[in-house]
Amino acid sequence: MRTSSTKRILVTGGAGFLGSHLCERLLQAGHDVICVDNCYTGTKENIRALLGNPSFEFVRHDVTFPLYVEVDEIYNLACPASPIHYQFDPVQTTKTSVHGAINMLGLAKRVKAKILQASTSEVYGDPTMHPQREEYWGNVNPIGTRSCYDEGKRCAETLFFDYFRQHRLRIKVARIFNTYGPRMHPNDGRVVSNFIVQALSGHPITVFGDGSQTRSFCYVDDTVEGLMLLMNSGDEFTGPVNLGNPGEFTMLELAEKVIELTGSKSKIIYKTLPQDDPRQRQPDISLAKKKLGWEPKVKLDDGLARAIAYFDSFLKSGMSSLKNEYPLDEARSG
C-alpha cells in the first residue's frame, strides 16, 4: 500500500547485476520501482522474482532515447560494465553514458527528481595516486579500447555537475569500485565470475599478465547499501564519492583464494594483459564514512562463498536460461 514515504523510483539498467539487487532492496523498503532496461547485458531472468510484484514495473527501453515517466528519484545505472561487453559496441557504450545521462538529466529536470549516477573507479584510469581519493583527476587514455567506457563515464559526471550548476538539479555521483556477487553474468569476462566459473567447471584459471595487478572487491549488498544511503543523503552532498571495499588483492591472490574456497583442481595459466589494464586500484573511502556513515561489511571470503554458491547452482541448472538478446557470444570467446 502507498504511504506518504512511498517514492516512485526509476532504476535504469535495473535488469543488470547491480540494478536487479537495487530494485529488490527498494521494493523491500516499500517503494514503487520502474525498471528501465534494453536487456543489452541484463536479462529478465535477473528480475523474474520481482515481475509479479504490483509495485514493480519493467519497461524495455534504450536510455539513448528520450523517456517520459513521472518519478521522484532516478538511479542511472544503464551501461554495460564489463570490458568485453562495453568494447563489443564501443560507440553504443559512449552513447549510453552520454546520451543516456542527458536524457535522464532532462527527465529529472522536468519532473524535479533527485538523480544518482553510477559512475566508476575507471574515471581514475591507471591511477598514479594510491589509494584513490575523490580529488584525484585520474590518468585516462582518451583513445584506447577502454576509453569508450572511461571517457563516457567522465563525460556523464561532467553533465551531472553542469545540470547541478546550471539547472540546480539535485544530483548524486557514486564512483563504484569493482563489485561482485550473485547475478554477475557468468560469461562477461569479469575476473570474479571468470575465476569462479573456471574453478567450478575444472577449467584452467586465466590470470592476465603476471597477476600482480590489484583490485579491491566489494560485495553487491554493500555497494547497494552505499547507493541508497547516498541517494538519501542531504541535498548539499553531491559527491562524487567512492563506494568500494578498501581490501586490496592481486589477481594471483584472488585466483588462489577461489581455488581454495571451491576446492578446485584447476591450474593457473597466464594470458596477455589487456591494453590499458590498470596496475592498481583501491578506494579511499574516508568521504563515504564521514558523509554517509558507510563502510563495507562483507569480507571477501564470505562474499566469495556466496558468489560461489550462486554460480554452482547456476551451472547445475544449465546456462541456457540466461541468454542476452544481443550477439555478444562471439565477443566473449575472443
Catalytic residue among 40, 75, 86, 149: 149
Using CB under 6 A, which residues numbered 54 to 73 contact ligand UDP? Answer: 66-68
Q: Is 324 helix (H, G, I), strand (E, B) or coil?
A: coil
| Closest alpha carbon to 192 in 131, 142, 262 | 262
Active site residue 270: no
Strands 8-12, 32-37: pairing is: parallel
Burial class (CB in 10 A: 0-12, 13-18, 19+), 37: buried
| 20 touches ligand UDP (CB under 6 A) | no
CB 111 within 8 A of CB 71: yes
Q: Which residue has the cell 594470458?
A: 271
Residues, the chain: 334
Complex with ligand UDP: residue 32 or 126, whichever CB lies closer: 126
Instruction: Provide, rounded to whole angstroms, the least separation between the CB of residue 209 and ligand NAD.
Output: 19
Per-residue interface string for the shown chain with ligand UDP, residues 209-228, x marking contact by CB under 6 A: ----x-x-------------
Helix (H) or strand (E) holding 107: helix 90-111
Using CB under 6 A, which residues numbered 225 to 284 contact ligand UDP? Answer: 251, 273-274, 277
Contacts of 138 (CB under 8 A, 6+ apart): 123, 124, 125, 127, 154
Instruction: Provide, rounded to whole angstroms, the least separation between the CB of residue 299 and ligand UDP.
Output: 19
Residues that bind ligand NAD (CB under 6 A): 12-13, 15-19, 37-42, 62-64, 77-81, 96, 100, 118, 120, 176, 178-179
Q: Which residues bind ligand UDP (CB under 6 A)?
A: 66-68, 82-83, 102-103, 106-107, 109-110, 178, 189-191, 194, 206-208, 213, 215, 251, 273-274, 277
